[in-house]
Amino acid sequence: MDKGYPSLKLRLALIAYTLLWWVLLPVVVLYLRRRGRKDPLYAQKLAERFGRYRARLKNPVWVHAVSLGEMRSATPLIRALLAQGETVLTTHFTPAGRREAEREFAAEIAAGTVQTVWVPFEYSFAYRRFLKHFAPKYGLVMEIEIWPRMIMACRRYRTPLFMCNAQYPEKSFEKDQQGLGLRAALVAGFAGAFVKSEGQRARFAAVGMQNIHVTGELRFDQPIPQAHLTAAAACRTALTKGRPSFTLTSVVEGEDALYIAMIRQTTGVFFVYVPRAPERFDDVAQMLQAAGLRYARRSALLDDDLGLADPAPEIDVLLGDSMGEMYFYLGLCDRAIVGGGFVPKGAHNIIEPLALKKPVIVGPHIWTIAYPATEAMAAGVCQLVPDAQALMAEVQAPTPVTDTQITTFYEDHAGGVARTLAAIPKALAR
């Protein structure tokens, strides 16, 4: 541990940060309870948010996956760790991440080799309880989650904490070079990182992080639920009626008007529309209704096993109002339009469609997925469209992409799990 870390500037900032958390505690609790009205899990097991836990794994590997996307990227690595005989503790902030962990590892949770809990709030006492209760061997924080008290507590109690499947988006990196540079200072507080590319290594190193290992993108090793593909194949013809089909994945607030206008102007095409967040399902249904589109909700049209309960109605849009079934939705399409790219917050995961050999279309804001989107565009398997007009043109006359192109691209970038497993002992030894 560096004796000069944290700096005086960072110490002062942490004091202010802690005071702010104490002042805002009633607001945070109220927020969780209000969110709990739509999703009860938000308001459940509140004691865990303060570091109080009942069950305990002994010296697990700790994986922090804040929400659904991070949990999905962690899944293949967790399976590999379990295969090595480790026990795994997963922490989450949102119900989506926790539910995914509980769904994916239900058997392991029952067997006592996996445990899922809420991550503590940002209080020193909560992390002290957490770390003493579980005594994790080391922690892996998925992607680029920066939790100051988590970092400081792990340093204090000598729990090695690494970024995993990490990326440092260009906008975040540039912003951190300006002003006080506090987030950059916090990044340097990790014990190291397992990063997606050489470009990411350079950015992390530039802010003072050491012990960096290039391991690639874990999502390329994600398991594909074959039951979802089988179900999609069974009902695809009945739904699409032989029409070309597109699945819009992870659509976020601010994009709906653009996508719905595109659907209204496109004839002879079937669309699957999957909002990013479950709390948006009803709102999107109302938008589709108001636009006069022929649509049906997955929850009304399909049974629990993704089978058609009745003959398929004449619809142009299937609203994907469920979680954890993305591969089913992708199995219904010829191509995927990945959401998030038409708002400044940036696009989401393009790897899932490519895993099924589905060419991808993204909007202009790809800074969040620069890797592997830039490489996918160079390989010709991902098309960037700058505006609504270009999106319409790509839907009406898609750029030709072969299965061979996608297979070659995918194979060139797979293997992140094996590289990460090989790098972990080296990182711990430093």
**Residue 249, beta-bridge partner list:** 338
Asked if 357 and 350 count as a contact pair (C-beta separation under 8 A), the reply is no
326's CB contacts (< 8 A; 6+ apart) are 249, 274, 352
**Distance (Å, whole) CA 413 – CA 28:** 40
Gyration radius of the chain over CA positions: 22
165's CB contacts (< 8 A; 6+ apart) are 73, 74, 77, 142, 143, 194, 196, 215, 217, 218, 219, 416, 420
Q: Look at residues 301, 295, 256 and name the one whose alpha carbon lies nearest to residue 275.
A: 256
- Residue that is written with structure tokens 């899932």 in the block: 352
Cis peptide before 6 (omega within 30 of 0): yes
Q: Is 61 left (phi over 0), alpha (psi -120 to 50) or beta?
A: beta
- Residue that is written with structure tokens 């924080």 in the block: 141
Point out the residues that are catalytic: 70
**Distance (Å, whole) CA 167 – CA 373:** 13
Per DSSP, the three-state class of 183 is helix
**Distance (Å, whole) CA 364 – CA 182:** 29
Q: What is the residue-wise DSSP string for 186-245?
A: HHTTSSEEEESSHHHHHHHHHTT--SEEE---GGGG----HHHHHHHHHHHHHHHTT--E
Asked if 249 and 323 count as a contact pair (C-beta separation under 8 A), the reply is no
Q: Look at residues 39, 17, 347 and name the one whose alpha carbon lies nearest to residue 149.
A: 17
Neighbours of 243 (CB within 10 A): 14
419's CB contacts (< 8 A; 6+ apart) are 213, 214, 215, 216
